[in-house]
Amino acid sequence: MILVTGGAGYIGSHTNKALNKAGYETVVLDNLCKGYENFAKWGEFVNCDFGSSDLREVFEKYDIDGVLHFAAFSSVAESVELPQKYFKNNYKNTLNLLKVMREFGVDKFILSSTAAVYGNPEKVPITEDQELKPINPYGHSKWITEKALEREAEKGNFNYVSLRYFNAAGCDFDCEIGELHDPETHLIPLVLDAAIGKRDSISIFGTDYNTPDGTCIRDYIHVNDLASAHIAAYEYLCDKNTSNIFNLGNGEGYSVREIIDMCKKVTGKDFKVEIADRREGDPDILIADASKIRNELGWQPKYDLECIVSSAWKWHQKINSI
């Protein structure tokens, strides 16, 4: 049985669904501060904080073989305002989880990590061996968590895979679950808010970047591709019994303007686009070199940008028609 922490959230719920479809039994652990109980439709659900002493009861009740860890705060802006909140939840509480895993002999761990550990990259596409220089508390909290996993593995009888995401996007094709953040900070759902009329406009923050159209370029990956990568990583741990780190991205970049244009194409809606000042700390280009996971795990992303936006739009229409 696999424990999925944060399994009632966006990426966790999609991965939990994929695990169950693949034949795995799961326990979803979530305190619902960011997640939704109706997103935990598959496996067992336990309302619990992974940083609490109640966690031991979960390990006592269920025969857990491994942990997929999604329970982290992930807003860069909020982490700058409330850094201690991020270090407590993302790092300190993960240490509690690792301690309980060690007590119960659970030796397989997959971390939902982030490209934010790279900070401003030295070269693009970004490879896993680049120096880690996080520039915000969120990225720093994930970096020190990766170091904690490294120390844990050095003790023996424990292996992990850290999956460094780029931009997760898109939604479940069955529209049973989807992206539902409060507040929403991700570009595609914000643009779709403008398309559906929830926002008066969408802002482009800076048009003078060193890119073909002057706007930032990012690597977007469908959440279902992320889910399949977690399953591949878990099977890798079961088979190889060794730790590793992988980037998760499409290896292609799309500019802010290209995202907006694709949203207009998919929705058939026009909306106002405004130009605003640059935001501090936004690099020109962030694209993953995901060749390592493709070569070592045989994982391959399936879904292109149009598919990403189409699935997100279907979900967006559903939640805004209620």
- As a residue count, the chain comes to 322
Report, as residue numbers or ranges, the catalytic residues.
Answer: 138
| Residue for token pair 């720093």 | 140
Q: Read off the DSSP letter of residue 284.
A: S
How many Cβ atoms are within 10 Å of 108's Cβ, its own excluded? 21
Q: Estimate the crossing angle of helix 187-196 against helix 305-319, to 10 degrees.
A: 50
CB atoms under 10 Å from CB of 53, counted, come to 9
Bond into 183 cis (ω within 30): yes
Q: To which residue do tokens 């880690």 refer?
A: 132
Q: What is the dihedral of CA 301, 302, 307, 309, to 10 degrees?
A: -10
Q: 28: which strand partners?
A: 4, 45
Q: Are strands 159-165 and 244-248 parallel, antiparallel or unpaired?
A: parallel
d(CA 55, CA 248): 29
Q: Rounded to an integer, what distance in angstroms lies between the CA atom of residue 26 and that of residue 42?
A: 8
DSSP 43-82: SEEEE--TTSTTHHHHHHHS---EEEE------HHHHHH-
Name 238's Cβ contacts closer than 8 Å, sequence gap at least 6.
66, 108
